[in-house]
Structure 1
Amino acid sequence: MLRLSLPLLFSLIFSAARADPLPSWNDTDSKARIISFVENVTDAASDDYVTPSDRIAVFDNDGTLWGEQPVYFQLIYAVDAFQKMAQDDPSLITSDALKAAAEGDYSALAEGGKEAVIEVLGATHSGLNVDDFQASVANWVATASHPVTGLRYDQMTYQPMVELLRYLRDEGFKTYIVSGGGIHFMRVFAEAAYGIPTEQVIGTYTETSYEVIDGVPTITKQPAIGFVDDKEGKPINIDRIIGKRPIIGGGNSDGDYAMIEWTTAGAGPRLGLIVHHTDGEREVAYDCDSHIGRLCDGLENGPNLGWLIVDMARDWSRIYTGAQ
C-alpha cells in the first residue's frame, strides 16, 4: 500500500488548491471561459497579451459581489439607523417615509417610491462627519443580521466572486468596485470582504463640506447627491476616476449594462460578465420582473454581444462566504 509522508501530502493538497483558482465554481463552460481569458491576456507569448498596467477589472457590488434581496443592504442599514434615531428622538418622524422607516415597514416605504427612499437615506447619511458615519456602518456590518438568511451582511458576499477577484489580482489585475451604492458605505467593508482597497471603490456620493470644528479638520456629509454611479454614470465615473477602459466588466442588472457595454466595446480582448440569479433554493431567483436588480436587456442582448452569462444555480457550487 502506498504511504505518503505528511509533508508530501500537504504539498499535494496545496498544489491542487493552487491548480484550481476558482474552487467554488463548478466545472462548466463559464469557469473554463474565465480561466481561458485570464490565461490568454497574461501569457506574454499570446496574441491577446495585455500588459499589467492595462489589466483593469470593474465589478458592480449589489447583486454581483454580495446579495441585494429583499432590498438593497444599504437601505436596510438606513432603516435600522433611523429606528434607533427615532427611539431617542420621536420628533424626527416628520413624514410618511420616516414613519415607515421608524416602523421598519418596507412595503409602505416602497409605496413612497424613490423620493421616500432618498428621504430616509438623507436622514441617516447626512449631517455626520465621514468618520462617524463609517463607524456607524462598521458597527452595523459587525452586528446586524439579514432577515432571511440570519447571516451578517459581510457573510453574504458571494464566495465564487471573492475567488474571482483574488484570482484576477494574483494574475496582475487591478480590481475595482463600481456600484450604485454609497461610496462611504462600501469603503467600510470592501477591503476586508473583497481585498479591494478604499481608493478602488467607486460609487454614488453625496456632497460633502470641509471645515475646522473645535480645532479639528472635518469632512461632513451633506444631503444633496453629488453623483449617482448607476447606468450611464458608471462608464463616466470609470473614465473620470480610473482613466482607462477596463478589459473586464461584471454586473448583474441592467444598471450595469452601460458599464459592460463600454468595457467590451474597446479594442483587444474583452470579457463582459453578468451574474444571473437563477438559484431560488440557495438564494433568490429573479431577473426581468424584479424590483431589485432588474435584468432584461442584459439577458436579451448580452449573448449576442459576446458577454458571459453566469448561471448561479448551474455554475456555482457555493453561494455565500458565510454558509456552506
Structure 2
Amino acid sequence: MKRPFALVLLFFILFTRSALAQDNLPSWNDGPVKRSIIAFVDKVTNPGGPDFVKSEDRVAVFDSDGTLWTEWPLYSPVLFAVDRARALAPKHPEWRRSRLFDAALKRDLPALAKGGEPGMLTLVGESYSGDTPEAFKALAGEWVAHAQHPYFKQTYDRLVYQPMLELLNYLRANGFRTYIVSGVETEFMRAFSERVYGIPPEQVIGSHIRTSFLMSNGKPILLRRAKLDYHDVKSKKPETISQFIGRRPILAFGNSDGDVEMLQWTTAGEGPRLGLLVHHDDAEREASYDRKSLIGKLDRGLDEAPKQGWSILSMKNDWRRIFKTDKSQSATTDMQGAGNR
C-alpha cells in the first residue's frame, strides 16, 4: 500500500507545481515553449529526481534589449545616448561637423541604425562619459522612468515584457539566481534593474566604460571616460559570465545573434540545460524582424536553434500579452528601411 500512496503523492506534488507555474505565468499562452520551461524548472527543483540541481547552481542569464524590453526601432540605451548628446551639444560644437552626431542631434533614427554598431558605440562612449557612476545612474534612472519612447509613446520602464517579468519571478521563487548579461553598458542597466526587474546591480553584467580613480577637491571619486573597455556581445558573453559569476548557467535566454555564444556555452554543460530565443514576429503588438534587420538581427540563431535543441519563442503565438500595459502599437511602419517587415 505504501508504493501506490507514494506515487499518488508524487503525482499530486508535480501537478500542484505545474498548476502554480501556470498561474505564475499568466501572460504566456499554453504551448511547447511554456511547457518546456515549466518541465525544466520542475525537474531541476525536484529533490528526489535524477535531474535535481542544487540551488547554488541554479543560475539563469538573460540578455537585455529585445529579450527583457523592447529594442525597436532602436536600442533604448542608444535613444538615451541621443538625448544625452542633445543635452551636452552646447559644450561640444565640434559634434555639428560629425555626420554621426548630426544624425543624433536631429533624432534621425534610421540614419543611426544604418550607421551600425561602430557608430552607436561611439555615440554611447561620448555621451555616457564625464560623470561619476553615481551621477550617471541617477541620470539614466530618471530617463527610464520619465522619458517617452518616440514610437510607443510610453515611458521606457513600461515597455518591459510582462511575460519576462513573470518568468523572472517564477524562477526566483524556485531558487534561481537571475542575471542580466548584455551588450548594454553596465551602469545604464544598473540604474533601473532592481526596481524594474528585481535584479540587483551586482547581478548585472554588461559592456564596460573605462572608469578612472582620481582625487577631486580632496575627495576620491571615480570618473567615467569616453572609451569602452569591452563590448559584451557574442563570445565575450561566456567570458564575462565565467569571470563575474563563476558558474556555468543552466538556463540562457536571448533574442539575437549576439546571444548565440551565450546559449551555446550554457547548453553545452553537463546535466539539464535550457536555451531559449525570443523571435520578434508580432508586427501588430510590437515589431516583426529577424534575419535582415539592422537591429537585433536573428539569423544564425534561427539556424542554430534546431541543431542545438533551443526553443524559439514566438511573441505572436506564445505571449498573450507583450508589455506591462496593453497599449502597445506597431512601430514597424514608422521605421522604413531599418529592417525586414
Report if TM-score (shorter chain) is over 0.5.
yes
Q: Does 1:208 align with 2:211?
A: yes
> Judging changes above 3 Å, is the alpha-carbon distance between structure 1 residues 260 and 85 closer, same or farther for their aligned structure 2 residues?
same
- Residue of 187, 198, 202 corresponding to 1:184: 187
- What is the Cα deviation at residue 119 of structure 1? 2.8
> Judging changes above 3 Å, is the alpha-carbon distance between structure 1 residues 112 and 302 closer, same or farther for their aligned structure 2 residues?
closer
- What is the Cα deviation at residue 116 of structure 1? 2.8
> Judging changes above 3 Å, is the alpha-carbon distance between structure 1 residues 303 and 115 closer, same or farther for their aligned structure 2 residues?
closer
What does residue 304 of structure 1 align with? 307
- What is the Cα deviation at residue 87 of structure 1? 5.0
Contact 2:95 2:102 in 1 (8 A): no
Q: Does 1:227 align with 2:230?
A: yes
What does residue 12 of structure 1 align with? none
- What is the Cα deviation at residue 99 of structure 1? 1.8
Contact 1:98 1:119 in 2 (8 A): no
1:255-266 to 2 correspondences below 5 Å: 255-266=258-269
Gaps in structure 2 of 5+ consecutive residues: 1-18, 328-341
- Residue of 322, 326, 338 corresponding to 1:319: 322
What does residue 252 of structure 1 align with? 255
What does residue 169 of structure 2 align with? 166
What does residue 148 of structure 2 align with? 145
Cα distance in 1 between the residues matched to 2:263 and 2:20? 31
> Judging changes above 3 Å, is the alpha-carbon distance between structure 1 residues 213 and 109 closer, same or farther for their aligned structure 2 residues?
same
> Judging changes above 3 Å, is the alpha-carbon distance between structure 1 residues 43 and 160 closer, same or farther for their aligned structure 2 residues?
same
- Residue of 287, 290, 293 corresponding to 1:290: 293
Cα distance in 2 between the residues matched to 1:111 and 1:22? 37
Cα distance in 1 between the residues matched to 2:230 and 2:219? 27
What does residue 80 of structure 2 align with? 77
- Residue of 111, 132, 136 corresponding to 1:133: 136
Q: Deviations over 1:204-241 (max 9, x none)?
A: 01111011211332111112211211000000000111
- What is the Cα deviation at residue 71 of structure 1? 0.7
Count of equivalent residues = 309
* Matched residue SS, 1:160: helix
Q: Does 1:60 align with 2:63?
A: yes
What does residue 5 of structure 1 align with? none
Contact 1:151 1:322 in 2 (8 A): no
> Judging changes above 3 Å, is the alpha-carbon distance between structure 1 residues 287 and 91 closer, same or farther for their aligned structure 2 residues?
closer
Query: What percent identity do the matched residue pairs reach?
Result: 47
Cα distance in 2 between the residues matched to 1:275 and 1:114? 21
What does residue 276 of structure 2 align with? 273
> Judging changes above 3 Å, is the alpha-carbon distance between structure 1 residues 247 and 230 closer, same or farther for their aligned structure 2 residues?
same
What does residue 49 of structure 2 align with? 46
